[in-house]
Amino acid sequence: MWFLPPRAGSAGASWKRNAMAFVAGQALAAAGLLAAPVASAQNYVGPGVTKTEILIGNSAPYSGPVSALASTMKAAAAYFRKVNEEGGINGRRIRFISYDDGYNPASAVDQTRKLVESDGVSLVFGSLGTPTNTAIQRYLNQKKVPQLFVMTGAARFHEPRTYPWSMGWAMPLKLEGKAASSYLRSDPAGKTVAILYQNDDFGRDFISGLKEAMGERWSSVVAQASYEVGAPAVDSELIQLKASGATSLVSITTPKYSAQVIRRVVELGWKPTILVPSSSASIGAVMRPAGVENATGVLSWGSAKDPDDAEWKDDPGVRTWRAFMDRYLPDGDRSDAQITTGYLLAQTLVATLRQSADDLSRKNIMEQANALRSVALDMLLPGITINTAQNDYAPLSQVQMQRFNGRTWERFGPILDLSSDSAR
């Protein structure tokens, strides 16, 4: 990991407390993305772009209640470092500046204004969290700065008519709700469901998709409880939900709380089938902290290969990922699904920038981001690709159900295309 601390006396002198900055990279050849011939790195010089450099900004929760997600950005930074070592984007290096917002919306606003108005970034990429991205969305759209591939599935980041300069990468939360429904609706009649959710767009959008997809089976939901971001624990909410006698628990929670839920449910002597979002399907950040014996049987869904799964031992894409980890992120926890997510996230941006060729204006970058067609990345499951369109800002909409067996995730059932009626 490389840091770019500011010069002494600069506006960023509090770097140790509130900022992290990276320069990083990797090429896409192994992912099957053929780069255009190296061009002359000329023609367009604009915000955040020179003849030799592309400046990209980000804010992420390196501290605070969801700091487990920060490994996503550390992996993205490492990928950019490899891109740079292999010649950059048509001769331009990526300079990646990432600040700590602590999952605090006010801090995210301050850091994003700094990225745009002081650092002069070309775009804001991959920022993590629903409340933090919501806080900066209107500002970036007014400034016409791309808010690209942000790590939240809230519906407002997949609405091109309302927010044309914002695009999520994480699966829309309404689609995650449909993924949960695909399992719950297959349960025998009489099964009952309890829901724990984060009291913001993250939780509410998920529930909206779940309710829509469950249809008449929504009557099986017998209890709901919410918690606020920053709450030290969710014990009282789980005690309330246990009293319902529900046989399934949908835990719409971020990694820290998902680990708490899995562990506490066992301590309470409650034995529901637990479902967690894809963002909590991390063995390193969730299952191990919860205790693998407690987490055995937990359900989720995913789009990426699990490098710990023996099925992928000789897979070319996983071998490429392992080589990347060996060289660029040797201390990274290979069981942390957020690292694989960061790797894929960075590949998606690099594909967009390569497709933009020498016109790296903000307008063209945004246009290319919504013109990605069947982009196959080496750590996505076979049959799953990245796709966008002018009226569809959801790059990822395909998943497969999976169950934690105490060591790894076991996939089952077909690939679900959640953007279609097939998941209903």
**DSSP-assigned states of every residue in 255-270:** HHHHHHHHHHHHHTT-
Predicted confidence at residue 35, as pLDDT, reads 39
262 burial via Cβ count (<10 Å: 0-12, 13-18, 19+): buried
Instruction: With a cut of 60, say whether residue 1 has pLDDT above it.
Output: no
Residue 162 CA to residue 28 CA, distance in Å, equals 32
**pLDDT per residue as tens digits for the range 388-405:** 988 888 899 999 999 999
Strand order in the sheet with 398-404: 221-227, 193-198, 248-252, 273-275, 299-302, 398-404, 409-417
Per-residue pLDDT at 2 exceeds 60:
no
Please, which pLDDT band fits residue 420 given cuts at 50, 70 and 90?
low
Provide the pLDDT for residue 44: 61
Q: How much is the average pLDDT of 46-63?
A: 94
CA 320, 323, 325, 331: dihedral to nearest 10 degrees? Answer: 160
* Residue 46 binned pLDDT confidence (cut-offs 50, 70, 90): confident
State the Cα–Cα distance between residues 163 and 167, nearest whole angstrom: 8
Nearest of 189, 277, 201, 203 to residue 237 by alpha carbon: 203
Predicted pLDDT at 290: 97
Mapped onto helix, strand or coil, the DSSP state of residue 184 is helix
Give burial (CB, 10 Å; 0-12/13-18/19+) of 316.
exposed
- DSSP reduced 3-state for 275: strand
pLDDT in tens, 315-371: 999 999 999 999 999 999 998 888 999 999 999 999 999 999 989 999 999 999 999
**Range 239-250 average pLDDT:** 97
Rounded to an integer, the average pLDDT of 250-278 is: 96
What percent of the chain has pLDDT above 70? Answer: 87
* Residue-wise burial string across 142-169, b where 16 or more C-beta atoms lie within 10 A, e elsewhere: ebebbbbbbbbbbbbbbebeebebbbbb
Given this model, what pLDDT does residue 372 score?
Answer: 96
What is the pLDDT averaged over residues 62-89?
94
Q: Does the reported pTM lie above 0.75?
A: yes
Tell me the mean pLDDT in the region 62-68: 89
Eight-state DSSP code of residue 420: S
**Residue-level pLDDT at 17:** 37
Question: Any residues with CB less than 8 A from the CB of 289 and at least 6 apart, and which?
Answer: 259, 263
Strands 147-150, 123-125: parallel, antiparallel or unpaired by DSSP? parallel
What is the arithmetic mean of pLDDT over 219-236?
A: 94
- For position 38, what pLDDT does the model report? 39
Phi, psi of 75 (to 5 degrees): -70, -40
Walk me through the domains of the chain, giving residue ranges and CATH numbers. 15-171+315-393 (3.40.50.2300), 174-302+399-423 (3.40.50.2300)
Q: What's the CA gap between 103 and 46, in Å, rounded?
A: 30
**What mean pLDDT, rounded, does the chain reach?**
87
In which element (H, E) is residue 222 found?
strand 221-227
Please say whether the beta carbons of 199 and 226 come within 8 A. Answer: yes
What is the rounded average pLDDT of the residues 77-99?
97
Mean pLDDT in residue range 146-165: 93
- Over residues 144-154, the mean pLDDT reads 94
Cα angle 50-328-86, degrees, rounded to a multiple of 5: 40
pLDDT of residue 419: 80
**Confidence category of residue 201, pLDDT binned at 50, 70, 90:** confident
Rounded to 10 degrees, the C-alpha dihedral 31/46/98/396 comes to -40
| 189 vs 249, more confident | 249
Angle at 4 between CA 343 and CA 73, to 5 degrees: 20
What does DSSP say about strands 409-417 and 221-227: parallel, antiparallel, or unpaired?
A: unpaired
